Amino acid sequence: MKREGPVALLMISGFLYIISVIVASPAMEPVAATLDDWYKVVVGFINLVGVISLTQVNGRAVLRRSEGWFYNAILLVVLYGYIILGLVGGLHNVAFNLIYDNILTPILMTIFSTLTFWIGSAAYRAFRAKNADAAILLVAAVVVMIGRVTLGSAISPAIPKAAEWILNFPTVAGMRAIEMSAAIGGIVLALRMITGLERSFMGFD
Amino acid sequence: MIKEGMVLTFILELIMGIALLVVVKRARAGKKIPVIHEIPGLKALEEAVGRATEMGAPIMFVPGKGDLADAQTYAALPVLEYVAKSCAEYDTRIIVPLGVAVVYPVAEAVTRQAFQVSGKGDAYRETDVRFINEQNWAWAAGINGIMEREKVSAQILFGAFWAESLFLAEAGNRAGAMQIAGTASTSQIPFFVAACDYTLIGQEIFAASAYLNPEPSTTGGLVVQDWGKMLGLVLVLLGSILVTLGSNAIAELMLK
């Protein structure tokens, strides 16, 4: 029952969801919305599991005085401090929002901005013309990059047009092929799950 | 009865559902089904575990940033199961940093089960499957930190990724880790191709389960997946020809 129960529940809810999306019936109308709401409730509750995981990993590091335990301690203080601040002062609490807007957001944006440099190093490796494929990639990338700035049209009006063509035709064709095949893969995976053929995600075969 | 715009979806899903059950039944009866071609990126998973074992360093498995409503997350879990089993067999440590709380208990159950099935339940470290953060940059920074501190030998990135994909892959590259990625997030594929040793593109990640665990239900699913692609290709070609001849029949069928 420990195994059959979840599989049966998945099959029933999966079939109900598909029917409610496809069939136009007032009786089926609220099914998908209700299942979506249940999912949101479960997700909200499971955030607590995430907090427990963070506490376990970082608490253990602090108790064992592992290397860098001080940072684990800071994480725990910040985690629980911010939870308490939110619970006591509410979401419109000035300090709560001040920390979010003026400390957390700039830190996250700083990490985001480092992406510029990562793109540079990745592009350098990808655009080295080691073989015919890489050479085509290099030529296409140079045309697109130059074609998207004023330098492209200053050199020749054909360059921006070539850049547009590369973006609108070969790129879109390739992307749509990948998207279509992935969507079909997703449909088959979903069918395997709701027919009970795929169970690996449940932690048992 | 059927909602507007859903007729073709309903027909295709019905055909694929019936085909799946028929092919799986045939495969279970021992009848011949097509052979699965090799995917280099999946074959390289063994190499990644071998490398980690030789170096005595851990492997990092990142199951993407998708939640449990994302098919890519489910495609990543059988790969996690396979890698965790291999790691358990060779006494190699596996670290699974999660950026979605709802995926955490599932990934934890899959990894724990993989260790137990391999007879190494005691070797499973519950703090190695850990939740980092829901915010993608904080999650990516956390993974970067683990990569540097633990001297990870191989990084496997499987599932749905967004802007953090290059951050993760370049961090792995800088740390000298062998990297295998797989995603159907089209905007992130170029970054993985540029930064990783092997990249599985689009539907290949959904084929992973059949390749790593070849049994009737998985190989049958892969066969139906290929038939679905062929059917899609036929519809595209037919639609293109008909539009060229001045008919919108296929487009109209899709809107019904």
Question: Which of these ranges, A1-10, A138-147, B16-25, B68-77, has the smallest mean pLDDT?
Answer: A1-10
How many angstroms separate the Cα of A7 from the Cα of each of A31, A113, A205, B25, B56? Answer: 19, 44, 11, 19, 38
For the cut 60, the answer to whether the pLDDT of residue B23 exceeds it is yes
**8 Å CB contact of A115 and B195:** no
Looking at the domain assignment, is residue B243 inside a domain?
yes
Given a contact cutoff of 8 angstroms between Cβ atoms, the answer to whether A203 and B112 are in contact is yes
Tell me what pLDDT residue B38 has.
Answer: 85
- Given A54, A201, A205, which is nearest B106 (Cβ)? A201
B129-131/B178-183 β-pairing = unpaired
Query: For residues B148 and B174, what is the distance between their CA atoms, to the nearest angstrom?
Result: 9
Query: For residues B4 and B256, what is the distance between their CA atoms, to the nearest angstrom?
Result: 5
Nearest CA in chain B to A121: B170
Tell me what pLDDT residue B58 has.
Answer: 97
Do residue B29 and residue B45 come from a single domain?
no
Mean pLDDT score, A42-62:
91
- At residue B90's C-alpha, the angle toward residues B88 and B95, to 5°, is 50
Query: For residues B62 and B64, what is the distance between their CA atoms, to the nearest angstrom?
Result: 6
Looking at the domain assignment, is residue B1 inside a domain?
no
Do residue B116 and residue B178 come from a single domain?
yes
Mean pLDDT score, B84-99:
97
Give the number of other Cβ atoms within 10 Å of residue B235's Cβ: 16
**8 Å CB contact of B131 and A204:** no
Mean pLDDT score, B4-8:
90
Tell me what pLDDT residue B185 has.
Answer: 94
The DSSP bridge partners found for residue B199 are: B181
Tell me what pLDDT residue B92 has.
Answer: 97
Tell me what pLDDT residue B97 has.
Answer: 97
Domain ranges of chain A: 4-113, 115-168
**8 Å CB contact of B6 and A202:** no
Tell me what pLDDT residue A204 has.
Answer: 61
User: How far is the alpha carbon of B54 from chain A, nearest alpha carbon, in Å?
Assistant: 25
**8 Å CB contact of B221 and A47:** no
Residues 206-225 on B with a CB inside 8 Å of A are: 206-207, 209, 213, 217-218, 220-222, 224-225
Tell me what pLDDT residue B62 has.
Answer: 98
Tell me what pLDDT residue B215 has.
Answer: 86
Do residue B31 and residue B59 come from a single domain?
no
The ipTM assigned to this model is 0.90
Do residue B136 and residue B180 come from a single domain?
yes
- B155 φ, ψ (degrees, to nearest 5): -120, 130
Given a contact cutoff of 8 angstroms between Cβ atoms, the answer to whether A173 and A164 are in contact is no
Do residue B59 and residue B149 come from a single domain?
yes
Nearest CA in chain A to B188: A175
Burial code of A165-174, b = ≥16 C-beta within 10 A, e = fewer?
Answer: ebeeeeeeee
For the cut 70, the answer to whether the pLDDT of residue B196 exceeds it is yes
Tell me what pLDDT residue B32 has.
Answer: 80
In A, which residues are within 8 Å of B104 by CB distance?
Answer: 46, 49-50, 53
Confidence of residue A123 (pLDDT cuts 50, 70, 90): confident
Q: Is B64 left (phi over 0), alpha (psi -120 to 50) or beta?
A: left
Task: Please report the sign of the dihedral spanned by the C-alpha atoms of residue A158, residue A159, residue A165, residue A166.
Answer: positive
In B, which residues are within 8 Å of A125 by CB distance?
Answer: 194-195
Tell me what pLDDT residue A32 has.
Answer: 85
Mean pLDDT score, B172-178:
93
Looking at the domain assignment, is residue B92 inside a domain?
yes
Q: Which of B17-26, B86-95, B228-237 has the highest average model confidence (pLDDT)?
A: B86-95
pLDDT digits (tens, 9 = 90+) for B42-53: 999 999 999 999
Probe site for chain A from B21, B25, B102 (most A CB atoms < 10 A):
B102
State the residue range of the domain holding B224. 7-36+215-255
In B, which residues are within 8 Å of A201 by CB distance?
Answer: 74, 77-78, 106, 110
Query: For residues A80 and A103, what is the distance between their CA atoms, to the nearest angstrom?
Result: 16
Give the number of other Cβ atoms within 10 Å of residue A26's Cβ: 6
Do residue B23 and residue B134 come from a single domain?
no
For the cut 90, the answer to whether the pLDDT of residue A26 exceeds it is no
3-state helix, strand, coil in chain B (%, to 5): 60, 10, 25
- At residue B20's C-alpha, the angle toward residues B22 and B34, to 5°, is 80
Task: Please report the sign of the dihedral spanned by the C-alpha atoms of residue B112, residue B115, residue B116, residue B117.
Answer: positive
Q: Tell me whether B158 touches chain A (CB under 8 Å).
A: no
**Mean pLDDT, chain B, whole residue set:** 93
| Tally of residues, chain B | 256
For the cut 90, the answer to whether the pLDDT of residue B34 exceeds it is no
Through-space distance between the first and last CA atoms of chain B, rounded to whole angstroms: 12
SS3 B180: strand
Query: Among candidates A202, A190, A188, A73, which has minimal Cα distance to B231?
Result: A188
Looking at the domain assignment, is residue B146 inside a domain?
yes
Do residue B145 and residue B247 come from a single domain?
no
Residues 6+ apart with CB under 8 A from B185: B72, B160, B161, B162, B165
Q: Tell me whether A185 touches chain B (CB under 8 Å).
A: yes
Nearest CA in chain B to A176: B186
Q: Give chain B's domain count.
A: 2
Q: Tell me whether B14 touches chain A (CB under 8 Å).
A: no
**Mean pLDDT, chain A, whole residue set:** 90
Do residue B44 and residue B65 come from a single domain?
yes
For the cut 70, the answer to whether the pLDDT of residue A90 exceeds it is yes
Tell me what pLDDT residue A196 has.
Answer: 86
In B, which residues are within 8 Å of A68 by CB distance?
Answer: 149
Tell me what pLDDT residue A45 has.
Answer: 87
pLDDT digits (tens, 9 = 90+) for A139-176: 999 999 999 999 999 999 999 999 999 999 999 999 99
Tell me what pLDDT residue A5 has.
Answer: 86
Given a contact cutoff of 8 angstroms between Cβ atoms, the answer to whether A35 and A28 are in contact is no
In B, which residues are within 8 Å of A113 by CB distance?
Answer: none
Tell me what pLDDT residue A1 has.
Answer: 67
Residues 57-96 on A with a CB inside 8 Å of B are: 57, 60, 67-68
Classify residue B183 by burial, with Cβ atoms within 10 Å: 0-12, 13-18, 19+: buried
Query: Among candidates B240, B41, B170, which has minimal Cα distance to A173?
Result: B240
Query: For residues B137 and B178, what is the distance between their CA atoms, to the nearest angstrom?
Result: 22
Do residue B175 and residue B79 come from a single domain?
yes
Residues 6+ apart with CB under 8 A from A27: none
**8 Å CB contact of B71 and A190:** yes
What share of chain B in percent tops pLDDT 70? 100
Do residue B71 and residue B15 come from a single domain?
no
Tell me what pLDDT residue A205 has.
Answer: 57
| Tally of residues, chain A | 205
**8 Å CB contact of A182 and B184:** yes
pLDDT digits (tens, 9 = 90+) for B111-167: 999 999 999 999 999 899 999 999 999 999 999 999 999 999 999 999 999 999 999
- Given A56, A126, A182, which is nearest B202 (Cβ)? A182
Residues 24-83 on B with a CB inside 8 Å of A are: 24, 67-69, 71-72, 74-75, 77-78, 81
Do residue B96 and residue B135 come from a single domain?
yes
Q: Tell me whether B244 touches chain A (CB under 8 Å).
A: no
Do residue B109 and residue B200 come from a single domain?
yes
For the cut 70, the answer to whether the pLDDT of residue A203 exceeds it is no
